[in-house]
Amino acid sequence: MFSLESPLQTDAWAKVQRKLGKPTSTLQGDGWSALCVEEKRAVGSYLYVPYGPICRDAGALDDALRAIHAHARRRRAWWVRVEPRSSEREALWSDLPLWRDVLEADRFHPALHDHQPKHTRLIDLTAGPDAILAAATGSIRTIHRNHAKKGLEVRTSRNPDDVTILAAFLSQAAGHKHIVVRSTSYLHAVASAMMPVDAATLYSTWKDGAPLCATLVYDSPTQRLFAHAAMPVEHRKLRPNQPLITRALLDAHDAGIRTADLFGLAPPDEPNHPWAGFSAFKRSFGGEDVTHLGTWERDIVPGARRALEAREHLAERRQTQRARGPEATADSSAPVATTVSAENSSVPH
């Protein structure tokens, strides 16, 4: 049984949003809770519930959707965006059709694009260190045992200033791969809000006094989310990201966290998807593929959401074309996969 209580539905994530200037509110009822973030636009705003509401069952979902919609109207939002999840579930979700029926009955409909990844890889951390490592491929187990012999050292940090290590790798990727990545100021805001309350940790692998790769993880009491990662291609042969990930998984187990979310996979029926390469990499650590409900929306001001999104999307495409050429396609309003090597990274919003 996996825990789906995401770090994006915690008080620590609310603090991040407020630090970024976004008002937040927490709603709750019998069997459900929801962290709501107000997202401003040039004209109007919308209420966003990232990886939430978290609900006990479909009945609680119905109550949550009604309460969120009423709250959005009070806040004069133009539309509502939700990503409902059960608090825990097996990989195969037998109640998925019932939850969709509830969403449709409450006049929500699937968004044009999922805001956070709909498909992901979850790893059960409750079985213990030996079982966690046994689920990974043999090559990953080997480098986990022997990485020190290659001069690799995995370090952890809860000093917000150390996110500059990750930011530098992401910036390098932005120039090399023509993709949009999170800024240093954004990453520092996240780290300075979450690290002091033990809700975020930076992992990095070093050799000869220099960092080779870095990953920033977010934690709820029951789930570790692998939120941002970067590794320059010139370090790939050393495979420094593999012992980093196994260390992060084992540390999460030791902290009593039940589930690791590797955050974002290519859809299972799209072998040519741009994320196919790092999806295979994530699967090599074991676990199970899980499909969420995805992003659902409901208009409050009729037609406002579609008109604003179309206008913003056109403006972003024109800006990207001018700045980086036709190969730049990443959109910061989508579940961006900022893959630096061929491996691991997605960006929570």
Q: Are residues 96 and 76 in the same domain?
A: yes
Residue 152 covered by a domain: yes
Q: What are the pLDDT tens digits along the chain (349 aa)?
A: 899 999 999 999 999 999 999 999 999 999 999 999 999 987 789 999 999 999 999 999 999 999 999 999 999 999 999 999 999 888 777 888 999 999 999 999 999 889 999 999 999 999 899 999 999 999 999 999 999 999 999 999 999 999 999 999 998 877 766 667 888 999 999 999 999 999 999 999 999 999 999 999 999 999 999 999 999 989 999 999 999 999 999 999 999 999 999 999 988 788 888 888 889 999 999 999 999 999 999 999 987 767 666 665 665 565 544 433 322 222 222 223 333 332 333 456 6
Q: Are residues 151 and 283 in the same domain?
A: yes
CA distance 216 to 212: 14
Q: Counting Cβ atoms within 10 Å, is residue 25 exposed (0-12), middle (13-18) or buried (19+)?
A: middle
Answering whether pTM is above 0.75, one says yes
Say whether both 138 and 239 belong to one domain. yes
Give me the domain span that covers residue 261: 121-290
Q: Does residue 295 lie within any of the structural domains?
A: no
Does some domain include residue 323?
no
Q: Which of 99, 116, 133 is the last residue of a domain?
A: 116
Buried/exposed code over 280-297 (b: 16+ C-beta within 10 A; e: otherwise): ebbbbbbbebbbbbbbbb
Q: Which CATH number is 71's domain given?
A: 3.40.630
Verify that 58 and 147 share a domain, yes or no: no
H or E element, residue 48: strand 45-49
